Amino acid sequence: MIWSFTDSRTFAKCQRRWYYDAMLGYWNQKDPCRWEAYLLSKLQSVSAWRGQVVDLAITTTLVPTLNARQAPSLRRCLDRARQIFDTQRTFAMRHRLREAGMVPSQHKDSFAAFLSLEYQQPVEETELAQAWSEVEQAITNLFGMDALLGQLRAARLCVAQRALTFKHEGVSVKAVPDLIAFYDDRPPLIVDWKVHAFGTKDYWLQLVTYALALTRCTVHKDFARVFQGCDPTTIRLAEVQLLTNRIREHTLDEDDVGEVEDMIADSASRMSLALDGRKHPELRQADFPATSRLENCSDCPFRKPCWEGDE
């Protein structure tokens, strides 16, 4: 079993959704049940999708520019975001997810699938227009964050969307920070982009998990020349709320590290108990309780199999 911050949140909200998403929804075209769960796991709300567009535009324009030691260009980043937005919107609005033989990974940057369309709800033009306006606002706000951009421009190397894994109490922990900036003369800076209209949630736990992952994973080849490990408490953590134009800097001390380790171990042990030593195909959806809070179901891509009892 692999533990991640996202999986732990899904498990806490609904164990059955976690089963579909983390246990069943793996790439396996030969098993129709797993393949269907995999396809469903690709569905997103329009608001989640706009965050993905922002992430991808930053990863494919700003990050290479920083590494090439060139001046970041707001225009280039916005143009790239618009291109991603238009391509993915066309793909999603045709609901190509359900095309015969669709393999999402073959479409890479052009793939998107809207939850509403799968569940016969329309996606209104006004919703898409609002999504674009928020993408534009988020990127424009980022380019106005002079202090943050200054820190990123001073980095020796920036690495985006890198999967980091380490073992904790026998469980594999996986973390994928949005951006890690490495320096010659100071500890790394980990940045997480958030694109929420109400930036009220505190993502301290997620960012501390990233710091633990960076200091405990096997150092990757590309960043080995600038990073050989450090104490997690020295890593700087920035939660960047792009829509509300706010940066929350998180710090951690030894007690925090212990607290987060305990939280990971506790959450992973609940997941292991739910599995009770079984693996697919011994698992059944009925083994995993459905949430008692119906509002948790509104954005769930697995409503069909869950409500139809389809195994």
Nearer to ligand SF4, 230 or 297 (CB): 297
- Beta carbon nearer to ligand SF4, 9 or 225: 9
Kindly indicate which of the ranges 114-122, 158-166, 248-256, 300-308 contains the residues binding ligand SF4, using the contact rule CB under 6 A: 300-308
Please report how close the Cβ of residue 115 comes to ligand SF4 at its closest, in angstroms: 11
Q: At what angle do helices 74-93 and 46-57 cross, to 10 degrees?
A: 140
Is residue 48 within 8 A of residue 54, CB to CB? The reply is no
Query: CA nearest 211: which of 242, 190, 184?
Result: 190
| Binding-site size, ligand SF4 (CB under 6 A) | 11
Q: How many C-beta atoms lie closer than 10 Å to residue 121's C-beta? A: 10
- Map residue 205 onto helix, strand or coil: helix
Q: Answer yes or no whether residue 60 interacts with ligand SF4 by CB under 6 A.
A: no
Is 264 a binding residue for ligand SF4 by CB under 6 A? The answer is no
102 vs 290, which CB is nearer to ligand SF4? Answer: 290
Percent of the chain that is helix, strand, coil (3-state, to 5): 55, 15, 35
Residue 10 vs 88, nearer CB to ligand SF4: 10
The span of 30-38, 77-85, 127-135, 299-307 binding ligand SF4 (CB under 6 A) equals: 299-307
Query: Smallest distance from the beta carbon of 193 to ligand SF4, in angstroms?
Result: 26
Enumerate residues 9-48 that contact ligand SF4 by CB under 6 A.
Answer: 14, 16-17
**Pairing mode, strands 171-175 and 246-250:** unpaired
Selection from 148, 264, 155 nearest residue 211 by Cα = 264
Asked if residue 211 lies in contact with residue 235, where contact means CB atoms within 8 angstroms, the answer is yes
Q: Count CB neighbours of 270 within 10 A.
A: 14
| Cis preceding-peptide flag for 281 (omega within 30 of 0) | yes
- Tell me, what DSSP letter sits at residue 44? B
Helix, strand or coil for residue 122? Answer: coil
Q: Give the interface segment with ligand SF4, choosing from 223-231, 244-252, 263-271, 296-304 (CB under 6 A).
A: 296-304
Tell me the closest approach of the beta carbon of residue 13 to ligand SF4, in angstroms. Answer: 7
Binding residue (CB under 6 A) for ligand SF4 from 95, 107, 156, 303: 303
Q: Which of 290, 308, 309, 310 is in the footprint of ligand SF4 by CB under 6 A?
A: 290
Chain positions contacting ligand SF4, by CB under 6 A: 14, 16-17, 290-291, 296-297, 300, 302-303, 306
